[in-house]
Amino acid sequence: MAAPFTLLKTDSASAGRRGRLHTRHGTVDTPNFMPVGTQGTVKAVTPAQLREIGAQIILGNTYHLNLRPGSELIRDLGGLHRFMGWDGPILTDSGGFQIFSLAKLRDVREDGVAFQSHLDGARLFLGPREVMAIQSNLGSDIAMVLDECPPWPCARDACAQACVRSLRWAGQCREIAAESGFLASGGHVFGIVQGSTFDDLRRETAEGLAALDFPGYAIGGVSVGEPEPEMLKQVGATVPYLPADKPRYAMGLGTPPQILKMIALGVDLFDCVLPTRVARNGLAFTPDGPINLRNERFRTDPRPLVEGLDNYTCRNFSRAYLRHLMLAGEMLGGTLLTLHNLHFFLDLTAQARAHIEARDFGAWHRAWVERYEAESA
Amino acid sequence: MAAPFTLLKTDSASAGRRGRLHTRHGTVDTPNFMPVGTQGTVKAVTPAQLREIGAQIILGNTYHLNLRPGSELIRDLGGLHRFMGWDGPILTDSGGFQIFSLAKLRDVREDGVAFQSHLDGARLFLGPREVMAIQSNLGSDIAMVLDECPPWPCARDACAQACVRSLRWAGQCREIAAESGFLASGGHVFGIVQGSTFDDLRRETAEGLAALDFPGYAIGGVSVGEPEPEMLKQVGATVPYLPADKPRYAMGLGTPPQILKMIALGVDLFDCVLPTRVARNGLAFTPDGPINLRNERFRTDPRPLVEGLDNYTCRNFSRAYLRHLMLAGEMLGGTLLTLHNLHFFLDLTAQARAHIEARDFGAWHRAWVERYEAESA
């Protein structure tokens, strides 16, 4: 297998990078955005529609798929790609984020995490061995190590303990992936940097993970309630200690301006439920900020969501029609807005790639963010 | 404009017909099935997906679209085709069915029907002038006359009155369509035969409508709760009195076997919410009868819904996956089952056309129905 990451170009006025991430299901141009397919589907859209809007890689969810329908079932049916009809790369998270998001239903131990199912209360345990087995069952192209995602804010002692534990689990996950044949079959395993708001813990964990020589690194423990400046500070405190020749992935982020700001900090990959989740409530992204289609002012608006944006929704439907669908409670409204919002995010990273190649990313992204934030405010 | 209907061939062993219906938005091969787009969308699917599965014509709903978003708004935005992104033929109903389905919210008068909106209680009146204006605003290719759909069972006197009223309204609708320029612009107006279970009233109304020389005729007052034998009897009592050189449309019908049985009686067009409505509850049609994907027996079933059926759902997804989507409450489940069910109905009428052309429709459809009903029972 070729080296998993090729760094093609670096922006002159920022730390922005243009690269290519190679997986056994194809190549991902970076920077890029991964639509989230928690339960074996990116909500409201088909894999064919994902291809149409240029998605190159999607994210699946270990915790949720393991509960329902179960990772053995998916393995027996040929793996997650075949199960959900997506033949491109899939990155799977490890369940570590659920340590944060399902805090009341879990107990962190030294050897892993005991959960009570949010569906039926059944007990399950996720340690390094379990999460790697599940991700192997799913046939993940990029498996994430088990980590402990601390809340925000977090006491330093508790955070330091979580970092030590996460680092130990990361090493175990890597070993298990080697022993089980997951690496030999072409799967990648990415490490995850925690450390909350403590720059020195971020650095220590990043360096500790780098010593384990992962083919890619994620920045975790962001998007857990902290304000945007804090979030960007944490990303900025982590990136410099990650190997320059490996891809960097900011987990669970972010808004369009946040994504551009993090690309400028040197981040390569993003995932977020934002574009899909808000779509189903009638919110659409535009270069002038998000608009809520339920608003009366769109009642007779014949314009597309974004003039000239080349996706099925913008090519064919007016804001007035999309508003009608949302008010009438029609599923197609959620589908068309999901398509548009995901394309908006994918197109944004495609524009970022082009501007990094043209070496004018710095000025371009500042102007883009300024326009978006001016109109949103 | 060419004659609106070309009769190409008649089956040897049944009254089944192969024809072509010409509209200003394209030609419809008959027999054919029309997906229902009540609120300006065929629920859960895009117009592009409708094209993919071979839909040639869809149905829109006067009563519902007039309430929300309003037919003037749709007119101002370029008509229903442009509004909903469908450039093929559209047939619109007249609101007559809501006289039956919203019986508690309406008052039938000699000059039309007074409704209370099912959405907000607002009063509205639909007479011949109103329904033709609305359908003209929508830009309908085939407008239906206003009719009074009686319930089942129905007293003979009340039914006779409804027939007289409907026949008068039909004549008025035709005149209004001529005066308003709707006909000159290439729109068609179809008459609707009522008469409930009374063969002589069916005959009288059919002959009365035929004298008005409509370019097509619908059989209404079916699918209002009567048992299948009664429904087929009514269709059989109506068809012989309709002009052989004009298309015949059975409104609101039916199951796959019912459609084949009515094709054998000489019906050319169908519409029904059945395939779309049940899809969203997890029901899928197969040649061996419908199956409920929520059933435990499909938990590990790797097979497509129908082996060899060439639609996106059957080409890409297992029953186990579709079951998972339904149990997880994922919108994509409703979309993929809707796609499949609509394609199943469209493919069934395509098969019927091929067998009429081959002049073996009689034997083929009896065998088809026998298999479907044997397994369903």
Q: Is A86 on the interface with B (CB under 8 A)?
A: no
pLDDT for the residue numbered A105:
87
- CA-nearest residue of chain B to A332? B44
Task: Select from A46, A68, A325 the Cβ nearest to the Cβ of B327.
Answer: A68
pLDDT for the residue numbered A103:
86
Residue B83 has pLDDT above 80, yes or no: yes
Helix A361-376 / helix A331-357 crossing angle, nearest 10 deg: 150
Mean pLDDT computed over B275-291:
98
pLDDT for the residue numbered B375:
74
In DSSP terms, A7 is beta-bridged to A19
Task: Select from B43, B320, B332 the Cβ nearest to the Cβ of A46.
Answer: B332
H or E, element range at A237: helix A228-238
pLDDT for the residue numbered B1:
44
Whole-prediction pTM value? 0.97
Three-state SS string over chain B comes to CCCCEEEEEECCCCCCEEEEEEECCEEEEECEEECEECCCCCCCCCHHHHHHCCCCCEEECHHHHHHCCCHHHHHHCCCHHHHHCCCCCEEECCCHHHHHHCHHHEEEECCEEEEECCCCCCEEEECHHHHHHHHHHHCCCEEECCCCCCCCCCCHHHHHHHHHHHHHHHHHHHHHHHHCCCCCCCCEEEEEECCCCCHHHHHHHHHHHHHCCCCCEEECCCCCCCCHHHHHHHHHHHHHHCCCCCCEEECCCCCHHHHHHHHHCCCCEEECCHHHHHHCCCEECCCCCCEECCCHHHCCCCCCCCCCCCCHHHHHCCHHHHHHHHHCCCHHHHHHHHHHHHHHHHHHHHHHHHHHHCCCHHHHHHHHHHHHHHHHC
CB B33, CB B345: distance < 8 Å = yes
pLDDT for the residue numbered B6:
97
Give the other-Cβ count within 10 Å of A230's Cβ: 15
Q: Is B331 on the interface with A (CB under 8 A)?
A: yes
* Spans of chain A below 70 pLDDT: 1-2, 377
Mean pLDDT computed over B240-262:
97
Say whether B320 and A69 touch across the interface (CB within 8 A): yes
Catalytic site includes residue A93: yes
pLDDT for the residue numbered A2:
53
Catalytic site includes residue A199: no
Q: Name which residue leads in pLDDT, B104 or A265.
A: A265
pLDDT digit string (tens) for B1-59?
457 999 999 998 999 999 999 999 999 999 999 999 999 999 999 999 999 999 999 99
Distances (CA, A) of B91 to B140, B141, B249: 6, 6, 11
**What distance in Å separates the CA atoms of residue A306 and residue A291, rounded to the nearest whole number?**
11
Report chain A residues whose CB lies below 8 A from the CB of B302: 77-78
Report chain A residues whose CB lies below 8 A from the CB of B334: 331
How many CA atoms lie less than 13 Å away from B66 in the CB half-sphere? 25
Q: Is B73 on the interface with A (CB under 8 A)?
A: yes
pLDDT for the residue numbered B85:
98
Say whether A321 and B40 touch across the interface (CB within 8 A): yes
**Of the ranges A212-226, A229-243, B91-105, B303-317, which one carries the lowest mean pLDDT score?**
B91-105
pLDDT for the residue numbered B100:
86
pLDDT for the residue numbered A1:
44
pLDDT for the residue numbered A203:
97
At residue B263 the predicted structure's pLDDT band, cuts being 50, 70 and 90, is: very high
Q: For a pLDDT cut of 70, what percent of chain B falls above it?
A: 99
pLDDT for the residue numbered B377:
62
- Strands across the sheet with B26-30, in order? B5-10, B17-23, B26-30
Q: Name which residue leads in pLDDT, A119 or B278.
A: B278
Q: Is B325 on the interface with A (CB under 8 A)?
A: yes
pLDDT for the residue numbered B3:
74
pLDDT digit string (tens) for B145-157?
999 999 999 999 9
